[in-house]
Amino acid sequence: MNARGEPHLAAVVLAGGRGSRLGGVDKAALTLDGRRLLDRVLDAVEPVATVVVVGPEPAAPRRGAPGGTGGDAGYAGDADAGPGTGTEPIVRYVRDDPPFGGPAAATAAGLAALESADHEPAGELRAGALPPGTVSTSARGSWVLLLSCDLVHPGAAVDALVPALAAAGPETEAVVGVDPGGRRQPLIAGYRRDALTAAVVALTAARGELASASMRTLTGGLATVEVPLTSTASADVDTVEDAHRAGVRLPDHEPRRTYE
């Protein structure tokens, strides 16, 4: 799939957490089938023109999936647009402020980075578009996908969200995945950028800062459509048990994640 000129989304991937329930390991650097979890999430948002990762930039460069197919990426028809073809989105890394300030603060940092990207000349963005007719939006993206870096099958998560984004009416401000247990997953979701930005501004004004604020507090007032997720699409790596269940390799010795 290479639908140049088709509407674009943006994506923010949160990768700056402490990984406390995993002993402080860097969840973004954990591997599944030989690839970092963060790289697998980036594969899943390959059709997106602007991608922001909130967290430290990996020390090692991103590696392409075996066979150049994008690994666990969504949109199976995009097998020809593997790494190295020039169709990958530009990925920007930004630190959350304060470090380890929680997902709401990280979301605000990601939105600010997207705003900066909006002011860059369009020619500096490599074209990466969604399949024709999927989402009606502006070239810069009125919707932003918000994903955590520790999804086990991010392609399945993105594939669940995109049809709901396409079908969303103008009154919808958020499309949020719901796991099989009935729990909303605000980091498997799509948000209208203006609505999410307004929520950030309002919560910051109310609290003075976003550190330690929850995503439920940030997004609870948005007009939301829920999207049922399978156990595959909602699987993430929060605990050692999650990692073992998913086949994610945990390091024998891993220093606690720090910011320089």
pLDDT at 230 over 50: yes
The tens digit of pLDDT for each residue in 172-194 reads 999 999 999 999 999 999 999 99
Tens of pLDDT along 198-225? 999 999 999 998 988 999 999 999 999 9
Does the pLDDT value for residue 80 go beyond 60? no
pLDDT for 72 equals 47
What stretches of the chain show up as alpha helix (H) in DSSP?
37-44, 103-118, 154-167, 193-207, 215-219, 231-234, 240-246
Q: For residues 38 and 42, what is the distance between their CA atoms, to the nearest angstrom?
A: 6
The mean pLDDT of the chain is 75
Q: Which domains does the chain have, with CATH numbers?
A: 10-246 (3.90.550.10)
Residue 154 · residue 44 · CB < 8 Å: yes
Reference 141, options 50, 46, 44, 225; nearest CA is 50
Percent of the chain predicted with pLDDT > 70? 68
Q: Which two tokens stand for residue 99?
A: 């470090």
* 3-state helix, strand and coil shares in percent for the chain, rounded to the nearest 5: 30, 20, 50
- Whose tokens are 């086949």? That residue is 247
**How many CB atoms are located within 10 Å of the residue 149 CB?**
28
